[in-house]
Amino acid sequence: MLRTIYNGQLRLSNVGQNVELVGWVAKKRNLGSLLFIDLRDRTGIIQLLINSEQIVVPDVRNEYLLHVFGVVKQKAVANNLLATGEVEVEVSKLEVINKAETTPLIIANETDALEEVRLKYRYLDLRRPTMQDKLIKRAQIVRSTHQYLDQNGFIEIETPILTKSTPGGARDFLVASRLHPGSFYALPQSPQIYKQLLMISGLERYYQIAKCFRDEDLRADRQPDFTQIDLETSFLNQDEILTLTEGLLHKIFLETVNYDLPLPLPRLTYEQALHTYGSDKPDLRYGLKIVNIKDIFENNQNTFFVDNTHIIAIKVANFAEQATRKVLDNYNLTAKKFKLASYAMLKYSSGELVGSLVKLFSAQEILALKTKLDLTEHDVVFIAASPLEDAAYFGLGALRTQVAKDLNLIDDQIYSLLWVTDFPLFETSDEGRLVAAHHPFTRPHDEDLALLKTNPAQVRAQAYDIVINGYEAGGGSLRIYDRDLQNQIFTLLGMSEEAIRFKFGFFVDAFNYGTPPHGGIALGLDRMTMILTGTDNIRDVIAFPKNLAGVSPMSEEPTTVDQQQLIDLHLKIVE
């Protein structure tokens, strides 16, 4: 052992002790014959005091790795910025274990380095205490998870990484088989099928900290390989699964950020979330609720009111002064992005409602609007209208989020957690096909089963998402456990008999052998860590992430490979 104590542990109680330390030079100051060094290890920084008239001092520069002996002294004036700030170590011997070149980025919590540089020299970026803190919190989340699930009878089981391609969700990453020319494995998008098979096996409670792979366009909160806390149970109903998961979240929040999550968490159905917040992942840290104002204009014959089945509004208090042209142009862009063709802004000032839409209102309608929205001076009203429910609500929901950010309405001292339940079972693709909203194994509500034949778009799923601070932080569902129903869903999704056999034959066969009712959930470990470490960049909570182009600037994958490797895999690159 090269040390007797960690640097960050030194306190007044250690004064007088002889210590042996290791660490990297974070900072160096010369004061004549006195040299001060801030020595950093994983636990923190301690100030070293070196008298060059008394000991031999080798050349020391930033990020040199040192081994020192010394005695702990109380400082005359404490440094409140450091946890160790009341003491320093007077050095009696100092050795350089290894030198360092000038680093390409500043190794401190604050660094001005571009993210590409940080990713290229990730091993140095990870020397920054703030980055280490994020990885340590991540490890705490994982530790709490293992403890909780173990205590609750869950068995950790690994599932394969080389799996069968079952296209339908996101795009698969494929791995060519050397032994089977022309055949491919797929990296798992999630362990979904395996965890359901484990329920059929009778293991009852499975979990895994699972790596998942999806070849999708990347975003600030998305990586091609990411991690889920994945679990599945048999014989529990939806309520029991949500309660069990709440217990896990409570433990994680308490042990990671010392936040005592009030339980039970609020629950909204998908329909309630959409109609109140214009989102299936609403952030409840601010209000700005949506109000349906269609009824006010029941007798208005103008096409704006007649053609738009959905006319809805949000009121933003005290916004009139700040709602400048520039701000509004931004909102126009958002409305466009969400295909919200008809949207308008009104101001309430000097007791009057002002805005281009107002000329279409009767005096009675203006009064009704004032009353319904409880308008006062300087309020702003955003109105969204559309024949399509999704365009109106998601569009206004996006504006709601933007307004909250612009007006700083979000209290970042609290966490907003809620369940969103009863999602539609299907979505309609751009080509008008039915696609599974969650995945094809999700169980429909029993009372909606008849609708599968008549109006499948109306069928609700026994599916749930956990939403944290406006992020979808996880989701799951009860699963179908009846072979015929599973086949019916595959067929509704446009799969032929042969396609079902080819892709899911083994899975459907397993349903013949006493499948238990089961369900589960997967929580996004990366997103949860983002939220609990206060970053909105997923790359900050992954030790070695890819950039937005899916490239690692450090090791440079993806790369070309040797011709021989391609030959072995029976592959040829076609330009």
Of residues 214 and 251, the one with the C-beta less far from ligand ASP: 214
Q: Is 476 in the site for ligand ASP (CB under 6 A)?
A: yes
Measured CA to CA, the distance from residue 289 to residue 357 in angstroms comes to 21
In angstroms, give the least distance from the CB of 156 to ligand ASP.
16
Measured CA to CA, the distance from residue 189 to residue 169 in angstroms comes to 8
In angstroms, give the least distance from the CB of 548 to ligand ASP.
22
In angstroms, give the least distance from the CB of 242 to ligand ASP.
13
Give the contact letters, 422-451, x = binds to ligand ASP (CB under 6 A), - = no: ------------------------------
Give Cα separations from 379 to 124, 361, 454 (angstroms): 50, 18, 45
Q: Is 475 in the site for ligand ASP (CB under 6 A)?
A: yes
Q: Is 278 in the site for ligand ASP (CB under 6 A)?
A: no
Measured CA to CA, the distance from residue 395 to residue 399 in angstroms comes to 7
Name the one residue in this structure whose structure tokens are 């039970």.
Answer: 264
Q: Is 520 in the site for ligand ASP (CB under 6 A)?
A: yes
Residue 334: its H or E element:
helix 325-337
Measured CA to CA, the distance from residue 30 to residue 60 in angstroms comes to 11
Scanning 10-18, 175-183, 519-527, 528-536 for contacts with ligand ASP by CB under 6 A, the matching segment is 519-527
Size of the site for ligand ASP (CB under 6 A): 8
With beta carbons less than 8 A apart as the criterion, state whether 72 and 39 touch.
Answer: no
Q: Is 242 in the site for ligand ASP (CB under 6 A)?
A: no
Scanning 91-99, 158-166, 357-365, 514-522 for contacts with ligand ASP by CB under 6 A, the matching segment is 514-522
Q: Collapse the DSSP code of 153 into the 3-class scheme (helix H, G, I; strand E, B; otherwise coil) and give the result.
A: coil
With beta carbons less than 8 A apart as the criterion, state whether 482 and 512 touch.
Answer: no
In angstroms, give the least distance from the CB of 516 to ligand ASP.
16
Of residues 229 and 380, the one with the C-beta less far from ligand ASP: 229
Give the contact letters, 157-196, x = binds to ligand ASP (CB under 6 A), - = no: ---------------------------------x-x----
Q: Is 522 in the site for ligand ASP (CB under 6 A)?
A: yes
Measured CA to CA, the distance from residue 159 to residue 153 in angstroms comes to 19
Which phi and psi angles does 211 have, rounded to 5°?
Answer: -80, 135
Q: Which of 7, 145, 477, 486 forms a contact with ligand ASP (CB under 6 A)?
A: 477
In angstroms, give the least distance from the CB of 519 to ligand ASP.
8
Scanning 19-27, 347-355, 359-367, 517-525 for contacts with ligand ASP by CB under 6 A, the matching segment is 517-525
In angstroms, give the least distance from the CB of 228 to ligand ASP.
6
Q: Is 421 in the site for ligand ASP (CB under 6 A)?
A: no
> Using alpha carbons only, how large is the chain's radius of gyration in Å?
30
Q: Collapse the DSSP code of 122 into the 3-class scheme (helix H, G, I; strand E, B; otherwise coil) and give the result.
A: helix
Scanning 119-127, 336-344, 355-363, 474-482 for contacts with ligand ASP by CB under 6 A, the matching segment is 474-482
Within 8 A by CB and 6+ apart from 573, the residues are 566
Handedness of CA 15, 16, 17, 20 (dihedral sign): positive
Q: Is 233 in the site for ligand ASP (CB under 6 A)?
A: no
Give Cα separations from 99 to 56, 62, 129, 132, 186 (angstroms): 17, 9, 20, 22, 44
In angstroms, give the least distance from the CB of 483 to ligand ASP.
19
Pair of tokens at residue 308: 């738009």
Of residues 50 and 241, the one with the C-beta less far from ligand ASP: 241
Strand partners, 461: 444
Of residues 401 and 477, the one with the C-beta less far from ligand ASP: 477
Of residues 128 and 460, the one with the C-beta less far from ligand ASP: 460
Q: Which is nearest to 200 in space by CA: 506, 440, 483, 516?
A: 516
* Greatest extent of the chain over all pairs of C-alpha atoms, in Å: 95
Distance of CA 462 to the CA centre of its chain: 23
Q: Is 521 in the site for ligand ASP (CB under 6 A)?
A: yes
Q: Is 545 in the site for ligand ASP (CB under 6 A)?
A: no
Give residues in contact with ligand ASP (CB under 6 A).
190, 192, 475-477, 520-522
